[in-house]
Amino acid sequence: MEDEDVESLLETTFFIVDHYWQSFSEISRQECKALLTSLLNKFDQVLEEMIDKLPSLRHIKGLVNINTQLNAMRVPLDNRQEFALFASRLGHEHAGVVLQTLHELASYLREDQGYLQTSAVSDQPDSVIATLTRALLECSSKFNGWQLEIARVCAECIGLVGCLDSNRVEAPREQKHFVVMDNFDNAHETTDFVAYLLENVLVKAFLSATDPRYIGFLSYAMQELLESCDFKVAYAHQGAGETLQIYRKWMAIPEATKEVLAPFLTSRFNLAPMVWPPVEYPIFQPSKGYGNWLRPFVLDLLKNGQNAFGQIIFEPLSRVIRVKDVFIAEFLLPYLVVHVVIGEEGTPHLREKIINELLTIMKYEPKDNASYVEREDIKHCYQVSAQLFIAATTRLTNMYRPSSIFLTTR
């Protein structure tokens, strides 16, 4: 393997060894030792560059000698460097690596909060406070609803950081938007949307997925989207002839994202024809929770593509909706609601069902004895439905006038 490939796998490898060592057989343990020894012998420079991001293996008796060699590479870090490093590690794609980082951060915060607290009340608070806070909030949002332990430890770490003065410490979130002007009725706009979707949603979901079935569906979806939007042809011809514009869009995708997508330009995943489950409106039922409302709602909207381009990209996307993770469904929902409500193929009855679905949620009031989880789920439904209702009715009102609406993903 090349150095870059080893570097990208080191954090995940060390997490697997650390987390599963106790359940490994003796043969597996010997394989781990051989692997780590090989890394020390062949990729010592890569290990030295990455050593601060790798957990200590001191608690594993069978790896004492290897851990001693790793510790020799470590250089003491000050508080600021430690917190910056934790913030960086929280952005890893693998849920296991993130959870391990959170446990280490919680332990570190319990032992040493002085630097953060002193800096937070100083005349010029250290920027690392905002960086760490934003990393924790992003992490909690990213894994919310399907990695409950990560969400719990994130909350614990935020509590250990303490209450920050928002007038002195700001941690703004970088907002990315995609504007749909022609409701997927324009080939160039649809291609741009797919490129945005691949870079900001599907590849990130693919890198963080651990369920083999989900990974397979994501692989199929990326393969089909790359082919249907002619990225596959443009890449094969290196932009020759009529494929130049598409090839330029491919080249504009960040290199790290292209490395993930490249194998799907030539892959051959096949799935049986999609069986669309029946959906009865209203879908919302307070006892079922947010995810169990969101997934069938998005799936039914994907089934009702209003034009040829929409139908082409919606079918492969439908494969990745019926899983526990709701990240992709949340991203697609605002685009789908507006697409179906203002689409020419949509019937008045379908529009009415969608609007009534949103109104049903906004009119619902939880019972006095409703649990905390139920109230939080309903609150989430409220927020999403209110945004969708405003977007849909605004576009219906102005559908005969030039207009556009920004659709935020979360």
CA 403 to CA 390: how far, in whole Å? 14
Nearest CA among 137, 89, 80 for reference residue 112:
80
Strand partners, 178: 407
DSSP of 173-192, one letter per residue?
PPP--EE-SSTT-SHHHHHH
CA 187 to CA 173: how far, in whole Å? 31
Q: What is the dihedral of CA 140, 142, 144, 146, to 10 degrees?
A: -130
In which band, very low, low, confident or very high, does the pLDDT at 299 lie, cut at 50, 70 and 90?
Answer: very high
pLDDT of residue 406: 41
What is the mean predicted confidence (pLDDT) over 54-66? 89
CA 389 to CA 369: how far, in whole Å? 28
Average pLDDT of the chain is: 86
Q: Which residue has the tokens 């039922």?
A: 285
- Within 8 A by CB and 6+ apart from 196, the residues are 178
pLDDT of residue 396: 64
pLDDT tens, residue by residue, 63-93: 999 999 999 998 888 888 888 999 999 988 8
What is the mean predicted confidence (pLDDT) over 203-219? 89
CA distances from 192 to 179, 204, 340, 398 (A): 10, 18, 20, 24
pLDDT tens, residue by residue, 366-401: 888 888 888 888 888 888 888 887 877 776 666 544
Q: Could you tell me what percent of the chain has a pLDDT over 70?
A: 92
What is the mean predicted confidence (pLDDT) over 163-168? 69
CA 198 to CA 206: how far, in whole Å? 10
